[in-house]
Amino acid sequence: MKRYLFQKLVDWKNSTNRKPLIIQGARQVGKTWLMKEFGRQEFEQVVYLNFESSARLKDLFISDFNVERILAVIELETNIRVEPHNTLLIFDEIQEVEKGLTALKYFYENAPEYYIISAGSLLGISLQKNNSFPVGKVDFMKLFPMSFFEFLKNIGEQRLLDILILKKWNIIASFHEKLVKLLRLYYFIGGMPEAVSNYIKYKNLDDVRAIQKTILIGYQNDFAKYAPIEIVPKIRLVWNALLSQLAKENKKFIYGQIRKGSRAKDFETAINWLVDAGLIMKVSRVEKPTIPLNAYADYDSFKLYMLDVGLLNAAANLDKQILLEKNNILTEFKGALTEQYVCQQLNNKIDIYYWTAANATSEIDVVLQQSNEIIPVEVKAEENLKAKSLKVFVERYQTQNAIRTSMSPYRKEDWLTNIPLYSIELIVEN
């Protein structure tokens, strides 16, 4: 498998100001595989420690943070001599060992020559509640499900990906239908590495769906395993409400639709837990699309999306033929599916918001800030070229550039650019 984050890991390795690294990301997005593969390709040896499966390592950091002692224990446990300049130390499931995150500070301060990467299931939650977290002593990276571009790369469409990245629209036009078919395939498979890997090997979409269902069951089992017992029922209610919330024409999250009479205070902790676990994306409304966007965000008004479009479709039990072929069976949910895809491709690169007019007659699905510019993005599920809300937005806020993304080919019309859905990643500068 090929992941874009790999090159960032290489850059981290070569950095003169390198710190111990924490990789965040939901379960099953490929953190362990990526760390091991990075070690295999870039280092002479790898010392892999899984703090969940090794009982002897549970007390590694309890007595003190003496680096020499810690390394001696690690060498005895693994029977590998840790050489500082050619060994990668991987601390997996680091949240399972007491004071594990705190220990990273002492490696940075007392032994910066060692290469250390750590990760863990639901590590985002541990970071939120860890009062002794080593602020400023570690580097962070986030791993998400594979983007559509990563999907193309892994299924052998590198040449097609190259012309997309170069924005050779005249050439891309000749392959438009092929790209649309590949995008519909991605809608079904999504970006979970196990699902993509299985498809590459066997080309069996029923097997892919079975893998997705297993991942979803695993996530639900995690609720009881990792979450405070008092909020587990509420987490389940929020998780199970995602589909019905997205199926509405107005996809703003409504607490009262989870349980009659519910308010924010009833489910806020549960939603935050799911966000910290990396299982859902929270896209807030922006009241005034002005720089900086985060200063004008209304965090009480938001939409929730699942972490992966393939998992969303699996949760909805959508048949593969509905997704692979153009049809009119889906109504509002087709819009939800497309918004899910777009938000997933952009959320791993930049903070995104949505906008609605005060009278709720116009809505922009995605608003983002790039350099010194605010860019509105209207999302269309098929070949719809209407852009009524965009026109309202542009006239009101005098925006220089506006984007409509749809299944139609690239076209530029004065203030409006239609970007094909399969190339939506390109609107974010690297």
> What are the domain boundaries of the chain?
5-142, 148-427
CATH class of 5-142: alpha beta
Length of the chain: 430
Alpha-carbon gap, residue 171 to 148, rounded angstroms:
19
Is residue 364's pLDDT more than 90? Answer: yes
Q: Which of 252, 273, 242, 426 is nearest to 350 (CA)?
A: 426
**pLDDT score recorded for residue 327:** 66
pLDDT bracket for residue 86 (50, 70, 90): very high
Q: Which residues pair with 379 in a beta bridge?
A: 405
> Can you say whether the dihedral through the CA atoms of 197, 335, 377, 180 is positive or negative?
positive
**pLDDT score recorded for residue 104:** 95
Q: Which of 191, 178, 251, 250 is nearest to 420 (CA)?
A: 178
- DSSP conformation letters of 132-158: T--TTSSEEEE--SPPHHHHHHHTT-H
Q: Please indicate whether residue 329 or residue 49 has the higher confidence score (pLDDT).
A: 49
Is residue 131's pLDDT more than 60? Answer: no
SS3 assignment for 326-367: CCCCCCHHHHHHHHHHHHHHHHCCCCEEEEECCCCCCEEEEE
Is residue 6's pLDDT more than 70? Answer: yes
Over pLDDT 70: what percentage of the chain? 96
Lowest mean pLDDT among 130-134, 164-168, 187-191, 211-215: 130-134
- DSSP conformation letters of 198-227: HHHHH--HHHHHHHHHHHHHHHHHHHHHHS
Lowest mean pLDDT among 131-145, 185-199, 251-265: 131-145
**pLDDT score recorded for residue 430:** 60
For 392-402, what is the mean pLDDT? 92
- Tokens 């017992």 sit at which residue? 229
**pLDDT score recorded for residue 282:** 98
Is residue 67's pLDDT more than 90? Answer: yes
**pLDDT score recorded for residue 117:** 98
Tell me the per-residue pLDDT of 318-353, one tens digit each, with 9 for 90 and over: 999 888 887 666 666 888 999 999 999 999 999 999
Alpha-carbon gap, residue 177 to 179, rounded angstroms:
5
- Output the six-digit token pair for 34: 């990526």
- Output the six-digit token pair for 48: 């892999």
The CA-based angle 258-263-265, given to 5 degrees, is 115
Contact 422, 395 (CB under 8 A): no
For 160-180, what is the mean pLDDT? 97
Is residue 223's pLDDT more than 70? Answer: yes
Lowest mean pLDDT among 31-45, 132-146, 197-211, 262-276: 132-146
The CA-based angle 296-388-251, given to 5 degrees, is 55
Longest Cα separation, the chain: 68
Q: Is 81 exposed, middle or buried (0-12, 13-18, 19+ CB in 10 A)?
A: exposed
**pLDDT score recorded for residue 272:** 95
Tell me the per-residue pLDDT of 18-40, one tens digit each, with 9 for 90 and over: 999 999 999 999 999 999 999 99
Contact 354, 366 (CB under 8 A): yes
For 155-179, what is the mean pLDDT? 98
Contact 9, 38 (CB under 8 A): yes
179 φ/ψ angles, rounded to the nearest 5 degrees: -65, -35
Tell me the per-residue pLDDT of 268-282, one tens digit each, with 9 for 90 and over: 999 999 999 999 999
**pLDDT score recorded for residue 328:** 63
Lowest mean pLDDT among 143-147, 149-153, 262-266: 262-266
For 167-180, what is the mean pLDDT? 97
Tell me the per-residue pLDDT of 91-111, one tens digit each, with 9 for 90 and over: 999 988 888 999 999 999 999
- Output the six-digit token pair for 350: 């930049």
Q: Which residues pair with 91 in a beta bridge?
A: 49, 118
**pLDDT score recorded for residue 24:** 95
Exposure pattern of 328-352 as b/e (b: 16+ CB <10 Å)? eebeebbbbbbbbbbbbbbbbeeeb
Is residue 247's pLDDT more than 70? Answer: yes
Lowest mean pLDDT among 42-46, 247-251, 385-389: 385-389
**pLDDT score recorded for residue 324:** 86
